[in-house]
Amino acid sequence: MCGIVGAILKEGAVLRGMIEGLRVLEYRGYDSSGVAIAGPQGLLVQKKAGRLEELENVLAETQFPDGLAGIGHTRWATHGPPTDVNAHPHTDTDRTIAVVHNGIIENYLELREELSASGSRFLSDTDTEVLTHLIAREALEGSLVDAVLRALGRVRGHYAIAVLRPGAQPEVVCARHGPPLCIGLSKEGAWLGSDILALIPHTRNVIFLEDGDVAELKVDSIVVRDLEGNLLERTAQRVDWDAEQVGKGSWPHFMIKEIHEQPDVLAQTAFHRLDDESGDVKFEEAGWTDEVLQGVERIQIVACGTALHAGYTARHLIEGLARVPVDLDFASEFRYRDPILVPGTLAIGISQSGETADSLAALRRARELGARTACICNVAGSTMVRECDAALMTHAGPEIGVASTKAFVAQLVAAYLLAIRIGRARGQLSADEGRVLLQDLRLLRPKMESLLSKKFLARMIEIAERHRGVKGFLFLGRGINYPIALEGALKLKEISYMHAEGYAAGEMKHGPIALVEAWMTTVVITGHGLLAEKVRSNIEQVRARGGPVIAVGADRESLELADEAIEVPDCNEWLSPILNVIPLQLLSYEVARLRGCDIDKPRNLAKSVTVE
Ligand code: AGP
């Protein structure tokens, strides 16, 4: 869960581009950072605990020299606390090479013993340093790439690494086994990065390395080999994200920028796919044909965190609109619990990044058990997209805020489209029913926009001010809005560090009601149809026990019963989660802002969890 950058250029200086790359990768880890440059006299290394600004300050104060080749790293600690010494890059005893690493070297203890016995001096607590000494020992003779190949042959674990050796012709080599890594050639030279965000300021033609790939970056070419040293053909893919999307513009935080992008995300994810003539959706991606979908007996969804909450909603949508049974599990549970999959199972992973280690492992397990695999994913070229039999892209654009917002909404929209597609393919929905559902989706955009108006935002700030000091929050929802209760609680806890629990409203009397008191705010998402009445009685039960209630939704009667009402435009029930989640995202954002939290980089979290 660290960010890696690197480059080798024909002329000019590498440092600025690397720092810019690290800035956009900081979402992957932000407890320390560092850079190594191949200088004329050898390696120059600077590293610093804390945010990237700390490193930038030291680089400026020390007038750190620049060079034509370098590597850099932003860390999320796994082995050893976030200190200057444990920060990457790591060097060997004679400082002949520098290494940055994302992942875990599982056999590092035995390798460390062996290397210590033969004279290597270890300075840090990291597993990465072992790899550094190992490569340096192999690099005494021959090329750096050969040394890396030999060293990797001794290593067990997961890694994305970049290695730098200074000299008359500096060498930059990178390798991947697990965590993502991509590379690209620009007019200036060759670049590497943990994801495309670091590369798009330089090139839009990107090679996504595959597991077992080792790449040697040269100023005008890139050579990719497998772990045995055999040459491989890897074709660059054109990436359609813009460099501007990676910036915050005039917004104070990426999170609020991304919340405001959601009406556009709805359009980007859906509108080009709606086909009124057939009352169906048309996916540009392969693998979603009538024939394939008619053969599906059961769907198994696997995901983590916010993406799992989208999965809960997808279950309602697919079961409700397409009448296919859906099971759902935390990817981290599914992968280890010896699951039973019936023949005809379609396993669907949901992921913003497409790199979440547990979700990837769960999909691989499902495949081993005979399932066809598919994903709903935001990042083209990601491991999940490449490994699945079919992918449904969410087109939300780059999401930088650690708290997922627009990617979640895009996942909900994609799930709605998928439910329609499956329903139409299996004859569960008529063309007329399909057309109504498509039209409802189109009408959603102005409704989403109304939840981002100045007036609405001012109201959310007022509510946040009144509740920022309570002991904790309970979020309750039912039916298709139960996952929105889970998501509201997750959002609040991850960025404001306040205790928050999401519950199915019907479960309240089985335990959580004991928490209700004047300093515990209950946020209730109002229901539709039959459930509206049930949710109303939940509100009354909380209020009768002196607990303040914020009601969110379209059911007027529920809103009238609550202490604070957040009215959301009405829409068909299937789409209500998309509207209901927006006020909850804003509430979390405003509470966190008022409490002075670091909204885009919450403590202990990283955006992309590429290790277990
Ligand atoms: C969301 O706010 C979280 N930061 C987190 O739960 C996230 O959704 C989860 O780690 C899954 O990530 P993915 O979508 O990239 O797989």
Q: Is 471 in the active site?
A: no
Same-domain status, 419 and 467: no
Instruction: Tell me which of 609, 610, 611 to substitute to probe ligand 1's pocket, judged by most ligand atoms within 8 Å of the beta carbon.
Output: 609
Number of H helices, E strands in the chain: 21, 27
Q: 187 in helix, strand or coil? A: coil
Q: 206 in helix, strand or coil? A: strand
Distance from the alpha carbon of residue 146 to the mean position of ligand 1, in angstroms: 37
Look up residue 204 and give its two tokens: 């839009």
Exactly one of 2, 174, 182, 388 is catalytic; which is it?
2
Name the nearest CA neighbour of 296 among 390, 379, 387: 390
Query: Which of residues 442, 463, 492 is at a domain's end?
Result: 442
Q: 474 in helix, strand or coil? A: strand
| Cα distances (Å, whole numbers) of residue 579 to 90, 178, 549 | 48, 36, 19
Is residue 72 one of the residues assigned to a domain? yes
Query: What strands lie across the sheet with 157-165, from one edge to the other?
Result: 90-91, 98-105, 157-165, 171-177, 213-217, 222-225, 231-232
Q: How far apart are CA 398 and CA 261, in angstroms?
A: 11
pLDDT (0 to 100) of residue 19:
96
Pairing mode, if any, of strands 222-225 and 231-232? Answer: antiparallel
Q: What secondary structure does DSSP assign to 459-515, as a single string?
A: HHHHHHHHHTTSSEEEEEE-GGGHHHHHHHHHHHHHHH--EEEEEEGGGGGGTGGGG
Same-domain status, 160 and 30: yes
pLDDT (0 to 100) of residue 530:
84
Same-domain status, 308 and 393: yes
Mean pLDDT by 10 residues, the chain (612 residues): 93 92 85 93 94 94 94 88 93 94 91 91 91 93 94 93 95 94 95 92 93 96 96 90 76 95 96 96 96 97 98 98 98 94 97 94 97 96 93 94 96 98 98 98 96 96 96 96 98 96 92 90 92 92 94 96 96 97 98 94 81 72
Q: Say yes or no: CB of residue 304 within 6 Å of ligand 1.
A: yes
Task: Look up the CATH number of the domain holding residue 166.
Answer: 3.60.20.10
Is residue 363 one of the residues assigned to a domain? yes
Is residue 603 one of the residues assigned to a domain? no
Q: Say yes or no: CB of residue 606 within 6 Å of ligand 1.
A: no
Across 29-55, b (16+ Cβ under 10 Å) vs e yields bbbbbbbbbbbeeebbbbbbbbbbeeb
Distance from the alpha carbon of residue 200 to the mean position of ligand 1, in angstroms: 23
Same-domain status, 340 and 408: yes
| Cα distances (Å, whole numbers) of residue 411 to 259, 303, 304, 318, 521 | 14, 12, 13, 13, 28
- Contacts of the segment 110-114: beta carbons below 8 A, 24+ positions apart: 111/154, 111/155
Same-domain status, 495 and 462: yes
pTM, rounded to two decimals = 0.84
Instruction: Give me the residue label for tokens 């007027």.
Output: 556
Look up residue 32 and give its two tokens: 């320390």
Q: Say yes or no: CB of residue 306 within 6 Å of ligand 1.
A: yes
Q: How far apart are CA 521 and CA 552, in angstroms?
A: 13
Q: Is 2 in the active site?
A: yes
Same-domain status, 51 and 195: yes
Domain, as residue range, for 295: 248-442
Instruction: Tell me which of 27, 306, 308, 493 to substitute to probe ligand 1's pocket, judged by most ligand atoms within 8 Å of the beta carbon.
Output: 306
Is residue 277 one of the residues assigned to a domain? yes
Same-domain status, 34 and 182: yes
Task: Look up the CATH number of the domain holding residue 476.
Answer: 3.40.50.10490
Same-domain status, 321 and 401: yes
Is residue 604 one of the residues assigned to a domain? no
8 Å CB contact between 290 and 425? yes
Same-domain status, 535 and 582: yes
Count the domains in the chain: 3
Q: Say yes or no: CB of residue 382 within 6 Å of ligand 1.
A: no
DSSP class of residue 321 equals I
Same-domain status, 61 and 180: yes
Same-domain status, 14 and 133: yes
274 strand-pairing partners: 281
8 Å CB contact between 201 and 243? yes
Name the nearest CA neighbour of 316 among 480, 99, 106, 157: 480
Phi, psi of 236 (to 5 degrees): -75, 145
Q: How far apart are CA 118 and CA 120, in angstroms?
A: 6
Look up residue 131 and give its two tokens: 């790899």
CA dihedral 322, 327, 330, 332 (to 10 degrees): -120
Same-domain status, 478 and 586: yes
Is residue 160 one of the residues assigned to a domain? yes
Query: Which of residues 239, 266, 281 is at a domain's end?
Result: 239
566 strand-pairing partners: 552
Instruction: Give me the residue label for tokens 């087109």.
Output: 395
> Can you tell me which atom of ligand 1 is nearest the CA of 605?
4
Is residue 559 one of the residues assigned to a domain? yes
Distance from the alpha carbon of residue 604 to the mean position of ligand 1, in angstroms: 14
Q: How far apart are CA 119 and CA 115, in angstroms?
A: 6
Name the nearest CA neighbour of 451 among 562, 568, 552: 568
Is residue 170 one of the residues assigned to a domain? yes
Query: Which of residues 185, 214, 239 is at a domain's end?
Result: 239
Pairing mode, if any, of strands 390-393 and 372-377? Answer: parallel
